[in-house]
Structure 1
Amino acid sequence: MELNIIYNQSCLDGLKQLPDECVDLIFTDPPYYQHRAQNVQGLKNHKDVVTEFDFDGFKSEDEYLQFLEDVLMECFRVCKPGASGYLWCGDDFVSFINRMVERTGFQFRKVIHWHKTNPFPAMYTRKMYANSMELLVHFSKGSPKTWNHKPVNDMHNFIQAPICMGKERTKHKTQKPLKVCMPFIEISSNEGDLVLDPFMGSGSTAVAAKKLKRNFIGYELSTEYCNIANSRLEK
């Protein structure tokens, strides 16, 4: 098993090659939806706009959820006892995810709320509120072994930060800013630990792990996103 590599392959195939109980922390953002704005005037290429749900090539919601459950089952196998996990999801699916993590053997612990301070404004014509909240499900394999407590005000299940902007921003549409990744990786792992991200995307988990002196291993099906992530790591 080589560390600090993003493998350009399906995470299910990759996870099956990992040994049992080798991972200290999971931090991941699965493709629970795909941004689609083709039918909304002026929004075709705008990042962070959710206009309708599309399960990233899967034929149905049920098919997607079964795939994600299969991934989590493999994650449970490769996690050490006491390992924590964090999984991003939309508010429409948090109840599914909570039940899913428990079916696969993990213990659900808490839902963390990320308030985006600069979401795209709500469109009057669609009669919807601005999509300013994203959720992070915290779970663990038994009682968490690592819990690096921060000051009390930094231990809330709420974090406020803007979406990626400026030099940090890549073309990946669901990129998570380092500001909403690093605190949780720091709390739930130690230097030298192994952080797993089955859906590496633009590489935010890997970059955060490297900055915090953790090892990482990840999988990303898109060659383009693998190149983006590796470029970020080189910098």
Structure 2
Amino acid sequence: MSLDKFSNLEVKWQSSEDMSDVESGTAQAVITSPPYWDLKDYGHENQIGTADESYEIYHDRLQGVWEECYQTLSEDGTMWIVVDTVMGRGDMRLLPYHIIERAEEVGFIPQDIVTWYKPTAIAGMTDRNVVNKKEYVLYLSKSQNHKFNQDIEHDNGNEDPAISEGQKLGNLWRFPVKRGTAGQNVLHKAPYPRSLIERIVRLSTDEGDVVLDPFLGSGTTAYVALDLARSCIGYEINSEFKEVIDERLSELKQSSLAEF
């Protein structure tokens, strides 16, 4: 069963540096994890972040994507970017902060930097560093009056330091990365867990809203959006991920058929 069988999913196999075919104000939330600079090769010669680009050019291209995201978002929309610091050619790059700076130039308003605690992580950035147990979730909005569903149910358990009984959700989130997050196909090197994206989708959207992922990758954002009765628009420059995404969404297809 092909991806076009989902009426509420649209995948565009092209660079998100041009999203002019999406009507302005369509998306309620952008949820994504961009390719890292000079670190991971996702298998396409025109991908953002390959080793033959400077760090400045990398951010120039990403800023082009943020500009497109800004245009696609509704006035009360938000953008959530999962990203970490990186070691680039011997130096630590404060990637989250540089992305925020560029997003601000576009017009986004920074709301918070959530720390995603990954207790199961086992690798450091280099052999001479401590084990990296975190990533960041950059939370930005198009306006101050943006949608934020603070009263959603939080189902990550009492071990999540963000959750305190009777208190608002905090900005330290515990979501373990489990083996097999992207199924058996390991083409995509940096999948994030569904539970992390579920929290963001519930916080930033309502049923029927549109979620946009400009770097769709293995399709986690699409899976969660569809599973929670949202629509999804995804951009992915590498069409080899079609099989990966189809595999991930097969559970939803089977569930839909069973319900029918």
TM-score bucket (shorter structure)? 0.7 to 0.9
Judge conservation of contact 1:58–1:64 (CA < 8 Å) in 2. Answer: no
**Partner of residue 166, structure 1:** 180
Where do 1:76-225 residues align within 5 Å? 76-91=70-85, 92-122=94-124, 126-149=127-150, 150=152, 153=164, 155-166=169-180, 168-169=182-183, 170-171=185-186, 172-225=188-241
Q: Specify every segment of 5 or more residues in structure 2 that has no aligned partner in the other structure, as ranges.
A: 1-6, 41-47, 86-93, 155-162, 252-260
Change (3 A) 1:127 1:72: same
1:159-182 deviation digits (Å, cap 9, x = unpaired): 112223136544121000101111
SS in 2 for 1:111: strand
Judge conservation of contact 2:37–2:51 (CA < 8 Å) in 1. Answer: no
Q: Does 1:32 align with 2:48?
A: no
Change (3 A) 1:200 1:58: farther
Inter-partner Cα distance in structure 1 for 2:54 and 2:27: 31
Judge conservation of contact 2:32–2:213 (CA < 8 Å) in 1. Answer: yes
Report the AA paired with residue 208 of structure 1.
V
1:63-88 deviation digits (Å, cap 9, x = unpaired): 11000001101111111101011011
TM-score by length of 1: 0.84
RMSD, aligned CA: 2.3
Q: 1:12 aligns with which of 13, 17, 35?
A: 17
Q: Specify every segment of 5 or more residues in structure 1 that has no aligned partner in the other structure, as ranges.
A: 37-53
Inter-partner Cα distance in structure 2 for 1:210 and 1:137: 23
Change (3 A) 1:69 1:121: closer
Greater shift, 221-230 or 147-156, is seen at: 147-156
Report the AA paired with residue 223 of structure 1.
S
Divergent runs of 4+, >6 A: none
Inter-partner Cα distance in structure 2 for 1:65 and 1:167: 28
Deviation at 1:143, TM superposition (A): 2.2
Change (3 A) 1:33 1:131: farther
Deviation at 1:191, TM superposition (A): 0.2
SS in 2 for 1:100: helix
Q: Does 1:65 align with 2:59?
A: yes
Identical positions, percent? 26
1:108-164 deviation digits (Å, cap 9, x = unpaired): 1100111111112449x9221112111110000102432212366371111112223
Change (3 A) 1:34 1:203: farther
Change (3 A) 1:10 1:106: same
SS in 1 for 2:110: strand
